[in-house]
Chains A and B, each alone.
Chain A
Amino acid sequence: MSGAYLGMPAFPEAAKTSTKNEQLRANLTHATHTIRDKRAAAVGELDDWAQLRQAGKEIKDNTLARLDHYLLQAEAAVQAAGGTVHWATDAAEANRIVADLVHAKGESEVVKVKSMATQEIGLNEALAAEGITAYETDLAELIVQLGDDLPSHILVPAIHKNRGEIRDIFAEAMGRWGRPAPDGLTDRPADLAEAARLHLREKFLRAKVAVSGANFLIAETGTLVVVESEGNGRMCLTLPETLISVVGIEKVIPTWRDLEVFLQLLPRSSTAERMNPYTSTWTGTTDRDGPQEFHLVLLDNGRTATLADEVGRQALRCIRCSACLNVCPVYERAGGHAYGSPYPGPIGAILTPQLRGLQSELEASLPYASTLCGACYEVCPVAIDIPEVLVHLREQVAEQVEGHRVERAAMKAATWLLDHPAALTAAERAATRTRALHPKRLPLPGPAKAWSDTRDLPALPAEPFRDWWKKNRKDGSR
């Protein structure tokens, strides 16, 4: 697996391969079950979780309803604090802005804080095309980058790799990217972490430019917030001379008071910690302390269009905690890559088609990559009703995407039959009368074939219920 997400096959195709990969499924099952159990315990400690969740939902909704106001407020505050604000309509524009800023500093390297927004726009690849190397500094992102792989989880991008595989990647690739791994590297977590620490330290101390995202942007003061576990983000945010932050416009929250709610919701939902180890905040520039030049790139890239959709806009509440991935039975079997986007799992299934539009088979297949079991909605800290949005998007797929005509005709025919009980009864009786002829194991025709590949069909009953009722019970006979 290497290269970009775009142009990847539709979800069922990709999942066909990944469900057969036993190692991948074992890695995923182990990791997701561990974290989901821990999350449940961490959430269970707070008796006001339901109120916190409601507060998180409302703050986000109220902010989204007046997004233009808060963004302008944030822009003014950032400028007042010595920062520069850039507005980017789409991925290409955002990448262009960042590349120009790096060129202007005469640099050809940047260090990066783990950021979903920069993955969404393919920043690393765009910078590479401009002769600029972007170094990921988050441990899991480093593993993915060194392995020439794609992230497969929002929070744990290398969730699909086990320790042995990580050791091999470090031993093989670190030398090509900078300081090589020590000889005889073992797969002990402490040794792996130490190898990464030494490798990264060189980059932190050398880099003149850093690129980050942000978890939150506080409108009242123009302050950006990054929460993380490793401290690598803190290094990137404080050591380089220039800091460029690429932030989705939905990340804005009105006040510091609002932050209090999310600093409780996020760590418990994502890493199952009461509090994340590092919370970094920065406001513009400060004389002789930290980066002396600060740029904020505000990214739209499909968000305004998403905001316009009454049902679908709730996806913009997402705080990227990944709790929904960790409980999703479909994600657990299919793996993150099958979703063809840096946003995998349930949130990816609703966010990707909205941000990108139903441009190809992949996006059109994502709303169907769910059984609607509702586990994602149950854990989401900002109460995004993911099943509701999935069904809503399916409606758009059915309306807009060629190739759903046959399905629509079948649905219409089914509705007609179900709206005519006499015809339905006749059909049921016909099926029942010919039941000796029905195959149990032979492949069913058409799309149902794959179903009957792994499951036996039930035997048809001697008579449908409605016939039994008519014979035995009608007219109150008992």
Chain B
Amino acid sequence: MRVALFVTCVNDALYPGTGRAVVTLLDRLGVEVDFPAAQTCCGQPQYNTGYRRETEPLVLRSARAFEGYDYVVTPSGSCAAMVRDNYPRIGAKALAQGRGSELADAAASLAARTFELTEFLVDVLGVTDVGAYFPHTVTYHPSCHGLRMLGLGERPRRLLEAVKGLELRELPGAEECCGFGGTFAVKNPDVSAAMGADKVRNALSTGAGVLCGADNSCLLHLDGTLRRQGAAMRAVHLAEILASTETEVLA
């Protein structure tokens, strides 16, 4: 089984710890993972802001970077959703506009092999107890793209529930958007900030010490809000919790 890590541009530049955690975790589960250095960004910011044509080179780049791998695993629900839902759309549109079938074929092939981390663990590897240890109270925010576009369902919760020492607290209004939304946070800063503040208030109401998510973009927004408020709660990516063990506490 040839597995590639699609670390995503946000994680590469801002949250490399999440990428290292995925590598550590997959190592422990006996999966040999590779990191094709030709990868960069899935193009989600461009596509979602209305620059579809500008996204096309990145679709091709990703498809080429991950050619030949059986599985492409990413610790980001929204990037996985971009590849799975939007790459085929971009490919089909390019084809309809007469730009050959290369893009469409590449997009379709990559979409079929791309998995969000929790899907890969639960559906492909068939594990829910990954042997993790994390002695904290945790509340989980299921980011919208993971929740609705990928339909991750109970997978992240099942993984968290199997972590030793971890106490999971229900997040009120969990399914509501945190207000990040990529360029939305910049184009509509007031609404975005109001949504972030409400999400953070709900998270704090659980009394948990850690706000967990599987998408560092949402966590960037929420952690930034938490720290501006001087709150004691910290945001941690799910992969870092799953990678954490009694001998090596990662998060």
- Chain A residues packing against B (C-beta within 8 Å): 11-12, 15-16, 19-20, 25, 329-330, 333-334, 367-375, 377-378, 388, 391, 393-399, 407-408, 411-412, 414-415, 418-419, 421, 424, 428, 431, 441, 447-448, 450-451, 453-458, 460-461, 463-466, 468-470, 473, 478
Contacts and interface: CB of A to CB of B under 8 A. Distances in A.
A450 B186 contact: yes
Nearest to A444: B186
A456 B144 contact: no
B189 A12 contact: yes
Given A395-B52, A398-B51, A454-B225, A377 B148 contact: yes
B16 A463 contact: yes
A457 B224 contact: yes
Contacts of A424: 40
Nearest to B176: A329
A369 B191 CA distance: 9
Given A12-B188, A329-B195, A464-B12, A370 B181 contact: yes
A450 B186 CA distance: 7
B50 A398 contact: yes
Given A371-B179, A374-B149, A419-B57, A465 B7 contact: yes
Contact of B35 (A399, A447, A463, A466): A466
B23 interface: yes
Nearest to A407: B49
Given A374-B149, A419-B40, A394 B223 contact: no
Contacts of A458: 14-15, 220, 223-224
B188 A421 contact: no
Q: Is the interface of B mostly helix, strand, loop or mixed?
A: helix
A159 B210 CA distance: 36
A451 B189 contact: yes
Nearest to A452: B224
Q: Is the interface of A mostly helix, strand, loop or mixed?
A: helix
B118 to A, nearest CB: 18
B145 interface: yes
Contact of B185 (A414, A451, A473): A451
Interface residues of B, number: 68
A421 B40 contact: yes
A372 B228 contact: no
A375 B148 contact: yes
Contact of B48 (A391, A453, A454): A391
8 contacts: A12-B187, A372-B48, A374-B148, A418-B58, A457-B224, A458-B223, A465-B16, A465-B35
B109 interface: no
A470 B197 CA distance: 39
B58 A428 contact: no
B16 A391 contact: no
A371 B49 contact: no
A135 B15 CA distance: 60
Contacts of A469: 19, 23, 35, 37
A219 to B, nearest CB: 32
B35 to A, nearest CB: 5
B111 to A, nearest CB: 16
Given A371-B181, A377-B148, A465-B12, 5 more contacts: A368-B49, A411-B45, A415-B54, A424-B40, A458-B220
B78 to A, nearest CB: 9
A15 B51 contact: no
Interface in B198-225: 220-221, 223-225
Contacts of B57: 415, 419
